[in-house]
Structure 1
Amino acid sequence: MDIKEVLQFADELVCVQTGKHLDDIQDTVIKGVWQGHTYEEIAAQCNRSESHVRDVGYKLWQILSEQLNEDINKRNFRSVLSRLQITRSPIIIQNNKHQNNTHNFNCYSYNSNKNTKNNDNEETSSHYLTLSPKITHFYGRETELQTLSHWLINQNNRLISVLGLPGIGKTTLVKHFIDLNLQQFDVVIWKSIKLSHSLDNILTEILTFTKSNNTENNKLTQLLNLLNQKRCLIILDDIQEIFIPGQLAGKYKPEYKDYKTFFAKITEIEHQSSLILISQEQCQEMICIDEELYPVKCLELQGLDNTDILKTQKLKDEENWLNLIKLYEGNPAYLQRIAILIRNIFQCRVSEFLSDGLLLTEDMKYQLNELFNRLSTVEQQITLELSKYNQPVSREHLRESLSLSSMDLINGLQSLNRRYLVTPIEGEKTLFNLSPVFREYVKIDS
């Protein structure tokens, strides 16, 4: 197919789904992707933001996927259309959104080489994503997305932790990866620990869903057999729920120590599948695993520094947006709540809001209070001391100011680092900096 044929074919499918022909930006996105351009390059061509172009592309792939009964994304768009062996002939397509309208186009018929199943439910039954979030916007995580894709698709790492503060975008990143790469896996299952803490229950649900449940072996053995027979991607969200609050980061509650065995088996036994753990804190034993010897990776998310995240918030003073983002550490959840405050109280004026310094909304305080309550007594003492200073503090200063043993202080600092609340800063002496937003909360609460 040449680009003209591709555009006509896509235009007719989009028209069936939406009742509208391709607009100029959709046209440019399809041309650019067909020619191998990045979203950044396409955005420059049509004078739009990269995030807007990405959203347009994402919606296009959804439409084409539904119309062609194929999982289509930016990476496989050209190869899928080539594989479909599209030839020109009149076809009739029924528009599911308007049952009374049948569209007759002089467009293209296609013959897929892919083995399809007669039952539509059977074809999609291996994807259990009802508990996963719907992603409407995705900003500034292209590098992390590429890293995740490389680890899962190219390297086939068996256990990946996606880590970071609440609201930083962990779940959004993983779900966006799945939306783009669903076709790479035979089975995709999303489970939330908040909704089902018991590992036994989770294993039962997975085995039942995949029709792998039998009485010959225990559930863990059955699951490992499934992971070997099919390429599965299993996501466990909110892993921090199985850790003890009030203790150092990553210590299992006694009733959930079976997860420790489960994670170890995932890394040690040969299979073709992957498990993603989404958490605010890392499992302690995972830190000691040598990534050179085991197929294990950790992706730690930092704040965003992309003003695109504010473009849908209807704020004024765009020249101050980056200052606002830096003030709230690029945390999308913080910024969304603050944007609402700026719209309601400051008439959308960012400059006026910034003149009052760092403010915390009530729902932010509630979330930060939950985070503070998860800290051990030692960690709480350290954060209270660090909150007195607006600059990084040395370990020596903390030791002089706090009645803690050297070991307790070191373990506390390490645990706070694993929670992404304290950052070590290298120099002549290592200094420790408390998250500015968390510092403000601790000042208010104390």
Structure 2
Amino acid sequence: MNFKEVLQMADEMVFAKTGEHLDNLQEAILRGTMQGEKYTKIAEEIHCNESYVRDVGSKLWQILSEELGEDINKKNFHSAIKRFQVSNSSNFAQGDVVTIGSFNTCGEARHPPNIPNPHQPNQETSHHDLSEMPQLGAFYDRTPQLQTLKNWILQQNSSLIALTGISGIGKTSLAVQLIQQIKHEFECVIWCNLDTSPTLPEFEANLIQFFSQYQKQDSPTTNQKALPLIKYLQKHRCLVILDDIHNLFSSGELAGKYQPEYEEYRSLFKKIEKISHQSCFLLIGWEQPRELTQIKNQNTQINTLQLKGLDSAAGREILRDYGLADIDNYSALIHRYQGNPLWLKSVATQMQELGGCVTELLLNDTILLPEDLKDVLQQQFSRLSELEKQVLSLLAKARDAINLTQLLENSRIPASDLVNALQSLSRRCLIEQQAKFYTISPVLRQYAAIRLGG
């Protein structure tokens, strides 16, 4: 039995028990186990904490034990799966279909008739509208972040979560992967892209129409009147994803300030935070509402995840996909572009198209800025206030990290305004802070020098 067959069989067992497919970490544990690797080696390969890998592995063996009907652990998994295959082959030769636990060898109807899966709502009673959700392309490992979001949503029952990060860092890809794994935990799931920037009354009307259709589907014989939005969130377990939330905020202002016509969204988010319900809103964008930071300090059901770049191993996967796996000092290239998937893909495409002459430039720490990468950076820079541009220009001129005192000495910006600008730039993920010092990445430094005259 090859690993692909083992993986498929284990995936079907886990799905039968939990209603979820194997995640990247579980697959890595199975692969390492089949190769005879210890947890220490598996953790090193996927850049994950060993104790966390052991914990996930222990839960995985427990699930497989219950499905296979015998005690499964890391040491006996290989032999147990072989016994299972031999047993199935023997029974198939006799014309039988063997059921072990809730798993059957045909790979279908993994739960006994008329007994619903307690982890997965009945498909007839769930109502999903993911027509605006982008398709998931290549997904590079974000296991810790996935686990964090799952824990907030499924274990802590968070009512409001902001997923933020600089353009191209992979926020939407992470959210799509998350939704694919947890959507069956909810009665209603809807993905709304705010690129059209609907007003709050328009947005609420669309949601109410979606939820009322679900309610009619659930009780078709009842002529039910449309309810206020919060009532649907209380009555049903709903997950609402708002992508490109930054479209609600003003350009030319500090991060998170609503445009006048979208100020009413503030009341919606406060209502979601204050009123008891069983639903969750996931906000995705370059910026988050200012009030979320204040609310978060008072309420554990409000969370913010600011997404950083990929690690070296995941970054190398991107380079490998673009035929650049063997370039020298690939780690330095990944670090130079902050592990940003979109930035790496843009530079990798340029390197691939132009060949060795461009690769040689990397030895001199040259920063390549392809035109499509400039376009991406332009979109985010165009949202900056004049105050933020001044501060970013100062940081671009400083070749090393600089502290607040030095920034004040090198400018005429009042201290209060300077601190506000630094806070806003930090929320946009455009600057980095190390202790009391601030700096910007090489890519942003070079682009700021071009755009702002730094």
TM-score when scaled to structure 1? 0.76
> Kindly tell me: are residues 373 and 420 of structure 1, through their superposed partners in 2, closer, same or farther at Cα, counting changes over 3 Å?
same
Matched, 1:236 2:214: no
Whether 2:158 is the aligned partner of 1:180: answer no
| 1:379 and 2:394 correspond | no
Tell me if 1:282 matches 2:277: no
Sort the Cα spacing of 1:405 and 1:349 in 2 relative to 1 into closer, same or farther, 3 A: closer
Q: How does 1:66-81 map to 2 (within 5 A)?
A: none
Distance 1:424 1:122, change over 3 A: closer
Structure 1 residue 288 displacement after superposition: 1.2
Matched, 1:44 2:18: no
Give identity over the alignment, percent. Answer: 33
Partner residue of 1:245? 251
Is it true that 1:333 corresponds to 2:342 in the alignment? yes
- Number of residues of Structure 1 aligned to a counterpart in Structure 2: 379
Cα 1:251/1:114, change in 2 over 3 Å: farther
Q: Where does the alignment leave 5 or more consecutive residues of structure 2 unmatched?
A: 15-21, 47-59, 69-87, 98-104, 217-222
Q: How does 1:301-320 map to 2 (within 5 A)?
A: 301-305=307-311, 306=313, 307-320=316-329
Any idea what the Cα deviations from partners look like across 1:59-118, whole Å, max 9, x if unmatched?
xxxxxxxxxxxxxxx999869979xxx998779xxxxxxxxxxxxx988766444559xx
Report Cα offsets for 1:363-382 as digits up to 9, x if no partner. Answer: 11112122112111110001
The alignment partner of 2:299 has SS state of: coil
Per the alignment, do residues 80 and 208 of structure 1 end up closer, same or farther by CA in structure 2, a change over 3 Å counting?
Answer: farther
Change (3 A) 1:442 1:107: closer
Distance 2:61 2:268 in 1: 33
Aligned runs of 1:23-422 on 2, under 5 Å? Answer: 24-30=2-8, 34=13, 38-45=26-33, 111-114=112-115, 123=124, 126-211=127-212, 222-291=228-297, 293-305=299-311, 306=313, 307-347=316-356, 350=359, 353-355=362-364, 357-422=366-431
CA deviation vs aligned residue, 1:223-250 (integer Å, no higher than 9, x gap): 1111111111000001111111000110
Aligned to 2:426, what secondary structure does the other structure show? helix
* Corresponding residue SS for 1:276: strand
Matched residue of 1:194: which SS?
Answer: helix
Give the 3 Å change call, closer, same or farther, for CA 437–272 of structure 1 in structure 2. same
User: What is the CA-CA distance between 1:201 and the residue it aligns to?
Assistant: 2.0
Question: 2:79 matched to which residue of 1?
Answer: none
Question: Match of 2:434?
Answer: 425
Q: Deviations over 1:24-63 (max 9, x none)?
A: 232132455559982222232466999xx99xxxxxxxxx
Give the distance between the partners of 2:4 and 2:357, measured in 1 at CA: 31
3-state SS of paired residue (1:123): coil
The alpha-carbon distance between structure 1 residues 433 and 107, as it changes in their structure 2 partners (threshold 3 A), is closer
Paired position in structure 1 for 2:83: none
1:166-192 CA-to-partner distances (Å, cap 9, x unmatched) read: 110111111101111121111110001
Which amino acid in 2 is paired with 1:433?
Answer: T
How far apart are the structure 2 equivalents of 1:253 and 1:403?
29
The structural deviation recorded for 1:323 is 1.6
* Gapped regions of structure 1 (runs ≥ 5): 1-22, 55-73, 92-104
Distance 1:316 1:146, change over 3 A: closer
2:168–2:340 CA contact under 8 A, matched in 1:
yes
Q: Give 1:247's aligned amino acid.
A: E
User: Which letter does structure 2 place at the counterpart of 1:130?
Assistant: S
Calculate the TM-score normalised by the size of structure 2: 0.74
Please give the secondary structure, in 1, of the residue aligned with 2:438.
strand
1:208-227 Cα deviation digits (max 9, x unpaired): 2222699999x8x6211111
2:3 partner letter: I
Structure 1 residue 197: Cα displacement: 2.6
Partner AA of 2:433 in structure 1: P
Q: Per the alignment, in what secondary structure is the counterpart of residue 38 of structure 1?
A: helix
